[in-house]
Amino acid sequence: MELISKADAQALISGHHSNPFSVLGLHEVEGKLTVRAFVPGATCVEVLDAKSGRQITALHEVEGADGVFVGQAGRRRNRFPYRLRISNGQDTWLADDPYRFGPVSGAMDEYLIGEGTHRQLWDVLGAHVMTHEGTEGTHFAVWAPNANRVSVVGDFNGWDGRRHVMRSLGQSGVWEIYLPGISEGEPYKYELLDRNGQVLPQKADPVGFGAEHAPRTASVVRQLQGHDWGDGSWMSKRDALHKTDQPISIYEVHLGSWRRVPEEGNRPLSYLEHARELVAYAKDMGFTHLELMPVSEFPFEGSWGYQPIGLFAPTIRYGTLAEFRAFVEACHNADLGLILDWVPGHFPEDEHGLGQFDGTPLYEHADRREGFHPDWNTLVYNYGRREVRNYLTANALYWLREHHIDGLRVDAVASMLYRDYSRKEGEWVPNIHGGRENLEAISFLQEMNASVYGEVPGIMTVAEESTAFPGVCARTDQGGLGFGFKWNMGWMNDTLSYMAEEPIHRKYHHHKMTFGLHYAFTENFILPLSHDEVVHGKGSMIDKMPGSGGEKFANLRAYYGFMWGHPGKKLLFMGGEFAQAREWNHDISLDWHLVDVAEHRGVQNLIRDLNHLYRSTPALHQRDCSPDGFEWVEDSASDESVFAWVRKGDGDAAPVLVVSNFTPVERANYRVGVPERGFWAERLNTDSEHYGGGGCGNLGGRHGDEVAAAGRGHSICVTLPPLSTLIFELERG
**pLDDT per residue as tens digits for the range 148-204:** 999 999 999 999 999 999 999 989 999 999 999 999 999 999 999 999 999 999 999
- What does CATH list as the number for 628-731? 2.60.40.1180
pLDDT at position 445 is 98
Q: Domain 6-98 carries which CATH code?
A: 2.60.40.10
Q: Is 326 helix (H, G, I), strand (E, B) or coil?
A: helix
Determine the Cα–Cα distance for residues 442 and 459; give it in Å rounded to an integer: 21
What is the predicted pLDDT for the residue at 30? 83
pLDDT of 732 reads 83
Class of the CATH domain delimited by 107-220:
mainly beta
Burial (CB count <10 Å: 0-12, 13-18, 19+), residue 582:
middle
Percent of the chain with pLDDT over 90: 96
What is the Cα–Cα distance from 120 to 143, expressed in whole angstroms?
14
List, as one string, the DSSP characters of 165-229.
Answer: BPEE-GGG-EEEEEEET--TT-EEEEEEE-TTSPBPPPB--TT-S-BPPTT---EE----S----
**Mean pLDDT value across the chain:** 96
Q: Is the pLDDT of residue 464 over 80?
A: yes
Q: What's the pLDDT at 78?
A: 72
Q: What is the secondary structure of 557-616 as a DSSP string?
A: HHHHHHHHHSSSEEEEETTGGGT--SPP-TTS---GGGGGSHHHHHHHHHHHHHHHHHHH
Which helix (H) or strand (E) segment holds residue 455: the answer is helix 439-455
User: Model's pTM, two decimal places?
Assistant: 0.96
Distance CA 621, CA 487 (A): 16
Q: Distance between CA 630 and CA 727 in Å, rounded?
A: 14
Between the alpha carbon of residue 525 and those of residues 445, 487, 625, the distances in Å are: 18, 6, 7
Mean predicted confidence (pLDDT) in 61-78: 86
| pLDDT band at 1; cut points 50, 70, 90 | low
Longest alpha-carbon distance in the chain: 111
Q: Is the pLDDT of residue 74 over 80?
A: no
Q: Supply the pLDDT for residue 77.
A: 61
76 band by pLDDT with thresholds 50, 70 and 90: low
Would you say 169 and 175 are in contact if contact means Cβ atoms under 8 Å apart?
yes
User: Catalytic one among 370, 411, 523, 577?
Assistant: 411
Please tell me the predicted confidence (pLDDT) of residue 569.
98
**646 sits in which H/E element:** strand 642-647
CA distance 421 to 437: 10
Q: Which helix (H) or strand (E) holds 284?
A: helix 271-284
Known catalytic residue at 583: no
625-631 average pLDDT score: 97
The H or E element that residue 683 is part of is: strand 679-685
Taking the alpha carbons at both ends of the chain, their separation in whole angstroms is: 104
Catalytic position from the list 387, 406, 464, 494: 464
- Region 81-104: mean pLDDT is 95
Contacts of residue 63, defined as CB under 8 A and 6 or more positions apart, other chains included, come to: none
Distance CA 325, CA 667 (A): 53
Whether the per-residue pLDDT at 145 is higher than 70: the answer is yes
Query: Amino acid identity, residue 690?
Result: H
pLDDT in tens, 208-253: 999 999 999 999 999 999 899 999 999 999 999 999 999 999 999 9
Q: Give residue limits of the domains in the chain.
A: 6-98, 107-220, 232-487, 628-731
Res. 659: pLDDT tops 80: yes
- Residue 733, pLDDT score: 66
Is there a shared CATH topology between the 107-220 domain and the 232-487 domain? no
In the annotation, is 228 catalytic? no
Confirm or reject CATH 3.20.20.70 for domain 232-487, answering yes or no: no
Between CA 498 and CA 482 the distance in angstroms is 32
pLDDT-based confidence at residue 38 (cuts at 50, 70, 90) = very high
Contacts of 128 (CB under 8 A, 6+ apart): 138, 139, 224, 225
Strand order in the sheet with 187-193: 149-154, 187-193, 219-220
Angle, alpha carbons 731-732-733 (nearest 5°): 115
Kindly indicate the confidence band of residue 432, based on its pLDDT and cuts at 50, 70 and 90: very high
